[in-house]
Chain A
Amino acid sequence: MQTLMIPEIGHLALIIALLMALVQGIMPLAGAATRRPLWMAYARPMATGQFLFLAIAYACLTASYLLDDFSVANVANNSNSLLPWYYKASAVWGNHEGSVLLWSLILAGWGFAVSQFSRELPRDMLARVMGVMGLVSLGFLAFVLITSNPFERLLPNVPQDGADLNPLLQDFGLIVHPPMLYMGYVGFSVVFAFAIAALLGGRLDAAWTRWARPWTNIAWAFLTVGIALGSWWAYYELGWGGWWFWDPVENASLLPWLAGTALIHSLAVTEKRGAFKSWTVLLAISTFSLSLMGTFLVRSGVLTSVHAFANDPSRGFFILVLLGITVGLSLLLFALRAPRVSHQVGFSWLSRDALLLINNILLVIMTVTVLLGTVYPLLLDALNLGKISVGPPYFNALFVPLTVVLCLFMGLGPLSRWKHTPARDLFKRSWTAGLAALVIGAVAPLLYRGEWNLKVSLGVVIALWVVLPMARDLWVKSRHADGRMAGLRRLSLSYWGMILGHLGIAVTIIGVTVVSNYAIERNVRMGVGDSAAVAGYTFTMTELASRRGPNYLADTAEIEVRRGDSQRSFTMTPEKRLYLARGMPMTQVALRPGLFRDLYVAMGEDLEDGSWAMRIQHKPFVRWLWLGALLMAAGGVLAVADRRYRRTVTARDPTRDSERAAIAAPREALP
Chain B
Amino acid sequence: MKRRLLLLLPLIGFLVLGAFLYMGLSINPFDRDSALMAREFPDFELTTLEDPERVVDASLLEGEVTLVNVWGEWCPTCKQEMPQLLDLAEDGVRLVGVDYKDTREKGREFLAEFGNPFEVNIFDPEGSLGFDLGVYGAPETFLVDRDGIIRYHHTGYIRPEDVSETILPEVEKWR
A382 near B20 (CB under 8 angstroms)? yes
B7 near A375 (CB under 8 angstroms)? no
In the bound complex, how far is the Cα of B29 from the Cα of A382, in angstroms? 11
B25 near A331 (CB under 8 angstroms)? no
Residues in chain A near residue B3, CB distance under 8 A? 340-341
A387: interface (CB < 8 Å): yes
Nearest chain B residue, comparing its CB with the CB of A338: B7
Q: Mark B1-22, 1 if CB is under 8 A from A, else 0.
A: 0011001101100110110111
B27 near A381 (CB under 8 angstroms)? yes
Contact of A387 among B21, B25, B26, B32 (CB under 8 A): B32
Residues in chain B near residue A296, CB distance under 8 A? 21
B25 near A324 (CB under 8 angstroms)? no
User: In chain A, residues 274-326, which have Cβ atoms closer than 8 Å to a Cβ of chain B?
Assistant: 278, 282, 285-286, 289, 293, 296, 300-304, 313, 316-317, 320, 323-324
A335: interface (CB < 8 Å): yes
B14 near A327 (CB under 8 angstroms)? yes
B25 near A317 (CB under 8 angstroms)? yes
A518: interface (CB < 8 Å): no
Residues in chain B near residue A317, CB distance under 8 A? 22, 25
- Given A335-B4, A379-B20, also A303-B14 (CB < 8 A): no
In the bound complex, how far is the Cα of B14 from the Cα of A289, in angstroms? 10
Most A CB contacts (10 A, CB to CB) among B4, B20, B26 go to B20
In the bound complex, how far is the Cα of B101 from the Cα of A485, in angstroms? 73
A242: interface (CB < 8 Å): no
Residues in chain A near residue B32, CB distance under 8 A? 387
In the bound complex, how far is the Cα of B62 from the Cα of A121, in angstroms? 81
In the bound complex, how far is the Cα of B11 from the Cα of A435, in angstroms? 46
Task: Give min CB distance, A316 to chain B, whole Å.
Answer: 5
In the bound complex, how far is the Cα of B27 from the Cα of A313, in angstroms? 9
- Given A282-B10, A340-B4, also A320-B29 (CB < 8 A): no
Nearest chain A residue, comparing its CB with the CB of B23: A382
Residues in chain A near residue B23, CB distance under 8 A? 378, 382
Nearest chain A residue, comparing its CB with the CB of B19: A382
- Given A338-B7, A340-B3, also A331-B14 (CB < 8 A): yes
B24: interface (CB < 8 Å): yes
In the bound complex, how far is the Cα of B8 from the Cα of A331, in angstroms? 8
Contact of B25 among A278, A320, A327, A338 (CB under 8 A): A320
B14 near A378 (CB under 8 angstroms)? no
User: Looking at chain A's contact residues, is the secondary structure mostly helix, strand, loop, or mixed?
Assistant: helix
In the bound complex, how far is the Cα of B11 from the Cα of A282, in angstroms? 10
A328 near B11 (CB under 8 angstroms)? yes
Task: Give min CB distance, B39 to chain A, whole Å.
Answer: 15
User: Looking at chain B's contact residues, is the secondary structure mostly helix, strand, loop, or mixed?
Assistant: helix
A39: interface (CB < 8 Å): no
Residues in chain A near residue B20, CB distance under 8 A? 375, 378-379, 382
Nearest chain A residue, comparing its CB with the CB of B27: A381
In the bound complex, how far is the Cα of B26 from the Cα of A317, in angstroms? 10
Residues in chain A near residue B25, CB distance under 8 A? 300-302, 313, 316-317, 320
B10 near A286 (CB under 8 angstroms)? yes
Task: Give min CB distance, A321 to chain B, whole Å.
Answer: 9
User: In chain A, residues 351-397, which have Cβ atoms closer than 8 Å to a Cβ of chain B?
Assistant: 375, 378-379, 381-382, 386-387
In the bound complex, how far is the Cα of B4 from the Cα of A340, in angstroms? 7
In the bound complex, how far is the Cα of B14 from the Cα of A249, in angstroms? 20
Residues in chain B near residue A334, CB distance under 8 A? 7, 10-11
User: In chain B, residues 39-92, which have Cβ atoms closer than 8 Å to a Cβ of chain A?
Assistant: none
Contact of A328 among B15, B24, B29 (CB under 8 A): B15
A324 near B18 (CB under 8 angstroms)? yes
Instruction: Give the bracket for the number of chain A residues in contact with chain B.
Output: 20 to 34
In the bound complex, how far is the Cα of B24 from the Cα of A323, in angstroms? 15
Residues in chain B near residue A454, CB distance under 8 A? none
Contact of B18 among A320, A341, A387 (CB under 8 A): A320
A332: interface (CB < 8 Å): yes
Task: Give min CB distance, A461 to chain B, whole Å.
Answer: 36
B18 near A328 (CB under 8 angstroms)? yes
In the bound complex, how far is the Cα of B7 from the Cα of A282, in angstroms? 9
In the bound complex, how far is the Cα of B156 from the Cα of A98, in angstroms? 32
Nearest chain A residue, comparing its CB with the CB of B28: A301
Residues in chain A near residue B18, CB distance under 8 A? 320, 323-324, 327-328
Residues in chain A near residue B7, CB distance under 8 A? 278, 334-335, 338
In the bound complex, how far is the Cα of B26 from the Cα of A378, in angstroms? 11
In the bound complex, how far is the Cα of B14 from the Cα of A331, in angstroms? 9
In the bound complex, how far is the Cα of B25 from the Cα of A362, in angstroms? 31
In the bound complex, how far is the Cα of B11 from the Cα of A327, in angstroms? 8
Residues in chain A near residue B24, CB distance under 8 A? 300, 302-303, 378, 381-382
In the bound complex, how far is the Cα of B32 from the Cα of A332, in angstroms? 38
Nearest chain B residue, comparing its CB with the CB of A302: B24
In the bound complex, how far is the Cα of B4 from the Cα of A476, in angstroms? 46
Residues in chain A near residue B21, CB distance under 8 A? 293, 296, 300, 302, 320, 323, 375, 378
Nearest chain A residue, comparing its CB with the CB of B17: A375
Most A CB contacts (10 A, CB to CB) among B17, B25, B29 go to B25
In the bound complex, how far is the Cα of B27 from the Cα of A216, in angstroms? 36
B17 near A331 (CB under 8 angstroms)? no
A313 near B26 (CB under 8 angstroms)? yes
Residues in chain B near residue A316, CB distance under 8 A? 25
A328 near B22 (CB under 8 angstroms)? no
In the bound complex, how far is the Cα of B32 from the Cα of A273, in angstroms? 54
In the bound complex, how far is the Cα of B57 from the Cα of A548, in angstroms? 51
Nearest chain B residue, comparing its CB with the CB of A327: B14
Residues in chain A near residue B29, CB distance under 8 A? 301, 303-304, 381, 387
Nearest chain B residue, comparing its CB with the CB of A377: B29
Task: Give min CB distance, B52 to chain A, whole Å.
Answer: 28
- Given A331-B10, A331-B11, A331-B14, also A320-B22 (CB < 8 A): yes
Task: Give min CB distance, A320 to chain B, whole Å.
Answer: 6
Residues in chain B near residue A320, CB distance under 8 A? 18, 21-22, 25
In the bound complex, how far is the Cα of B22 from the Cα of A338, in angstroms? 28
In the bound complex, how far is the Cα of B25 from the Cα of A286, in angstroms? 22
In the bound complex, how far is the Cα of B32 from the Cα of A296, in angstroms? 23
Nearest chain A residue, comparing its CB with the CB of B26: A313
Residues in chain B near residue A289, CB distance under 8 A? 14
Nearest chain A residue, comparing its CB with the CB of B15: A328
A335 near B11 (CB under 8 angstroms)? yes
Residues in chain B near residue A387, CB distance under 8 A? 29, 32-33
In the bound complex, how far is the Cα of B58 from the Cα of A458, in angstroms? 54
In the bound complex, how far is the Cα of B17 from the Cα of A378, in angstroms? 10
In the bound complex, how far is the Cα of B6 from the Cα of A335, in angstroms? 8
In the bound complex, how far is the Cα of B14 from the Cα of A282, in angstroms? 12
Residues in chain B near residue A293, CB distance under 8 A? 21
Contact of A382 among B11, B15, B27 (CB under 8 A): B27
Nearest chain B residue, comparing its CB with the CB of A300: B25
Nearest chain A residue, comparing its CB with the CB of B1: A340
Task: Give min CB distance, B2 to chain A, whole Å.
Answer: 10
Residues in chain A near residue B8, CB distance under 8 A? 335
Residues in chain B near residue A382, CB distance under 8 A? 20, 23-24, 27
In the bound complex, how far is the Cα of B33 from the Cα of A379, in angstroms? 17
What are 23 A-B contacts with C-beta separation under 8 Å? A278-B7, A282-B10, A289-B14, A300-B25, A302-B21, A302-B24, A303-B24, A320-B21, A320-B25, A328-B18, A331-B11, A331-B14, A334-B7, A334-B11, A335-B8, A341-B3, A378-B21, A378-B24, A378-B27, A379-B20, A386-B33, A387-B32, A387-B33
Chain A positions within 8 Å of B, measured between CB atoms, are 278, 282, 285-286, 289, 293, 296, 300-304, 313, 316-317, 320, 323-324, 327-328, 331-332, 334-335, 338, 340-341, 375, 378-379, 381-382, 386-387
Known: A303-B29, A331-B10, A334-B11. 9 other contacts (CB 8 A): A300-B21, A302-B24, A313-B25, A323-B21, A334-B10, A341-B3, A378-B24, A378-B27, A381-B24
